Amino acid sequence: MQEYMSNGCRLGWLINRKKQEVEIYRPKQKVEILTSPSTLSGECILPGFVLNLQRIWEL
């Protein structure tokens, strides 16, 4: 994920289905780790975008 950020990515999500965790990457910020979030927001990068994670956790 660091390579993506180094190349200009402004928002990255690393989803670990087994642990039900999401790592959120943003430039020049510490990685934020969420446990079992029901949704993820596209924030100001993708306004209005919401990813529903319920089906992913159920697999």
Domain boundaries, the chain: 2-58
SS3 10: coil
Amino acid 9 reads: C
Residue 59 pLDDT level (bands cut at 50, 70, 90):
confident
pLDDT tens figures, 3-51: 999 999 999 999 999 999 999 999 999 999 999 999 999 999 999 999 9
pLDDT score recorded for residue 41: 97
pLDDT score recorded for residue 6: 94
